[in-house]
């Protein structure tokens, strides 16, 4: 081929756009799919597809859709600043991406690797269709630190227990250096885009009124949240993460879920603190590894959102109790730490992780309501609702999943509240009916003498609910149900 002809071919190829298919990686920094497209020299065409069909019951819930609206709005603005914009389309994601590639005569499609079953199915459909064509399909690591197919047990199987997984992860996963955002993006001519306002992602009933006070979705909000965590909380994270009334957690979970910050960025940031290998940063990095573990489990067990990993729990005698479920959802169980958590969730789309465990344990053990019902409510109301984390953590609490806590380990919400909210500040913030109650009784108002209740303006059963069930009775009932599960004894289910 002559030099002149080579230049002509290169020029023609470079004029064809490279599509960057954004999904849960809504950022420019350390975004491998975007970086590869920019490095190719082709004009870049960023696109996001809203596909509610393939996800079925697991399409983004109400709180997550609020977040997505604002995150996409921010991403479009940042892309505009860098020389391009964001094309929005709706429909079957594989079909939409393939149609768009044909529409613009794309030379390549770059996207991230996601663990959700429907995302993997879409990838397979796109790859199959493009095989043998002159449009390449490239998948990049954008949301996880590890490739779920590369970490296995010595027997070559996926991990089902966290500690061995964490050890293998620390031994075998090289974590690179975060890549800066491109200074400028050579943008392609943008085809027609839908208007995000037509997607109606924000709720029509303004139950999200407090969300904007609590969160700033987008890459800039993620960076600011990480900076606050590094400045104020990471060094004491190992202890502070359990103090439910304090700002001891990172609050990065929704930003990580939507990919407004990469796990590589967060991991690297904890290594650049003054004391990166002390208990706080080490404990936080272990939480990042748990996130990888949840994705690992989902990758290898795609039915984990619907089915218990431990088959004996298919016979467990759950109680379908709409009344109990509704009281739990509304924070009206009569157990203060549980009600505080559920009201925090409804108010800001997020709940402290320690309280997530307490509220979940109360639902599935004291009330014997199926874990799937709790999982579905969290999916609808959490801004950080993540299929891997949500399903694996609910099964962990219910004792039926990977590395699960045995079912007979039942949290006592009074003891948990006393230990992790000793002054009752968390309860008083989210359950104002109890504001004036003496701290001695803040986590068990039913134990307060009538004089203490009267002084606080509380009438149990009227101004604040009586407990739905006696805690000792609920525990005994849960253990009885466990003994009846498939004829298994408690010690056989550990």
What tens digit of pLDDT does each residue of 278-289 get? Answer: 999 999 999 999
Q: What is the pLDDT of residues 432-465, one digit of tens each?
A: 999 999 999 999 999 999 999 999 999 999 999 9
Instruction: Give me the helices (H) in 92-196, please.
Output: 93-104, 117-130, 162-172
H/E stretch holding 18 reads strand 18-22
* 14 pLDDT tier (thresholds 50, 70, 90): low
pLDDT at 9 over 50: no
- For 424: left if phi > 0, alpha if psi spans -120 to 50, otherwise beta; the answer is left
Residue 3 in this model has a pLDDT that exceeds 60: no
**Residues of each domain in the chain carrying CATH 3.40.50.620:** 3-142
CATH superfamily of 3-142: HUPs (3.40.50.620)
Average pLDDT over the chain, rounded to an integer: 93
Whether pLDDT at 424 is above 90: yes
Which helix (H) or strand (E) segment is 305 a member of? none
Residue 1 has pLDDT above 50, yes or no: no
pLDDT at 309: 95
- Is residue 6 pLDDT above 80, yes or no? no
The architecture CATH gives domain 311-489: Orthogonal Bundle (1.10)
pLDDT tens digits, one per residue of 260-317: 999 999 999 999 988 899 999 999 999 999 999 999 999 999 999 999 999 989 999 9
Q: Active-site residues: which are they?
A: 287, 290, 318, 353, 371, 394
SS3 138: strand
- pLDDT at position 151 over 50: yes
Q: What is the pLDDT of residue 308?
A: 96
- CA-nearest of 201, 205, 249, 231 to 355 is 249
Phi-psi region of 317 (alpha: psi -120 to 50; beta: other; left: phi over 0): beta
* pLDDT for res 248: 87
Q: Note whether 64 and 389 are within 8 A (CB).
A: no
pLDDT higher than threshold 90 for residue 2: no
CB contact at 8 A, 274 and 90: no
Is residue 202 pLDDT above 60, yes or no?
A: yes
Ordered alpha helix ranges (H), 159-278: 162-172, 211-214, 219-232, 237-240, 253-257, 263-270
Whether the predicted pLDDT of 153 surpasses 60? yes
Residue 405's pLDDT band, with cuts at 50, 70 and 90, is confident
Q: What are the start and end residues of each CATH 1.10.579.10 domain in the chain?
A: 311-489
pLDDT digits (tens, 9 = 90+) for 49-76: 999 998 999 999 999 999 999 999 999 9
Best CATH choice for the domain 144-177+219-300 from the list 1.20.120.720, 3.40.50.800, 1.25.40.80, 3.40.50.300: 1.25.40.80
Q: What is the pLDDT of residue 486?
A: 53
Q: What is the pTM of this model?
A: 0.94
pLDDT at 489: 36
Q: What is the pLDDT of residue 403?
A: 87
Give the per-residue pLDDT at 7: 33
Query: At residue 490, does pLDDT exceed 70?
Result: no
pLDDT (0 to 100) of residue 13: 53
> Can you tell me the mean pLDDT for 326-337?
98
Q: Helix (H, G, I), strand (E, B), or coil: what is residue 124? A: helix
pLDDT over 90 percentage in the chain = 90
**Per-residue pLDDT, 274:** 86
Question: Where in the sequence of the chain do the CATH 1.25.40.80 domains occur?
Answer: 144-177+219-300
3-class DSSP state of 118: helix
pLDDT band for position 492 (cuts 50, 70, 90): very low
More confident residue, 430 or 317: 430
């Amino acid at each position: 081929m002559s030099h002149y002809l080579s230049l002509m071919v290169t020029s023609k190829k470079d004029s064809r756009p490279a599509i960057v298919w954004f999904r849960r990686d809504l950022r420019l920094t350390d975004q491998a799919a975007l970086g590869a497209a920019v490095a190719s020299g082709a004009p870049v065409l960023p696109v996001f597809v809203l596909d509610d069909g393939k996800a079925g019951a697991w399409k983004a819930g109400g709180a997550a859709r609020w977040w997505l609206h604002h995150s996409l709005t921010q991403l479009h603005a940042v892309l505009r600043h860098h020389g391009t914009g964001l094309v929005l389309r709706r429909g079957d994601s594989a079909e939409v991406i393939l149609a768009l590639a044909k529409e613009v005569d794309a030379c390549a499609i770059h996207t991230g690797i996601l663990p959700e079953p429907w995302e993997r199915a879409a990838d397979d459909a796109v790859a199959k269709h493009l095989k043998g064509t002159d449009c390449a399909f490239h998948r990049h690591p954008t949301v996880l630190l590890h490739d779920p197919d590369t970490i296995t047990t010595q027997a070559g199987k996926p991990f089902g227990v966290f500690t061995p997984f964490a050890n293998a992860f620390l031994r075998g996963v090289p974590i690179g250096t975060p890549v800066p955002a491109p200074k400028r993006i050579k943008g392609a001519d943008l085809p027609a885009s839908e208007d995000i306002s037509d997607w109606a992602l924000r709720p029509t009933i303004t139950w999200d009124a407090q969300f904007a006070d609590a969160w700033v979705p987008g890459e800039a909000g993620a960076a600011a949240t990480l900076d606050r965590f590094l400045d104020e909380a990471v060094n004491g994270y190992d202890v502070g993460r359990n103090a439910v009334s304090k700002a001891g957690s990172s609050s990065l979970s929704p930003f990580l879920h939507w990919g407004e910050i990469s796990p590589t960025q967060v991991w690297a940031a904890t290594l650049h603190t003054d004391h990166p290998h002390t208990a706080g940063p080490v404990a936080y990095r272990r939480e990042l590894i748990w996130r990888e573990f949840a994705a690992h489990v989902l990758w290898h067990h795609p039915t984990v959102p619907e089915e218990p990993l431990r088959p004996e729990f298919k016979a467990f005698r759950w109680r379908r109790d709409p009344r109990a479920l509704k009281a739990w959802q509304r924070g009206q169980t009569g157990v203060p730490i549980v009600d505080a958590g559920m009201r925090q969730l409804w108010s800001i789309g997020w709940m402290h992780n320690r309280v997530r465990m307490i509220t979940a344990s109360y639902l599935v053990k004291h009330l014997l309501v199926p874990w799937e019902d709790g999982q579905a409510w969290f999916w609808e109301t959490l801004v950080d609702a993540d299929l891997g984390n949500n399903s694996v953590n609910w099964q962990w609490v219910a004792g039926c999943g990977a590395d699960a806590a045995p079912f007979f380990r039942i949290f006592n919400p009074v003891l948990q509240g006393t230990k992790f909210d000793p002054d009752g500040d968390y309860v008083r913030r989210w359950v104002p009916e109890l504001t004036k109650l003496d701290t001695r009784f803040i986590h068990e108002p039913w134990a307060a003498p009538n004089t203490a209740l009267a002084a606080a303006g509380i009438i149990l059963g009227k101004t604040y609910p009586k407990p739905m069930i006696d805690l000792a009775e609920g525990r005994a009932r849960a253990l009885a149900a466990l003994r009846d599960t498939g004829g298994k004894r408690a010690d056989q289910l550990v």
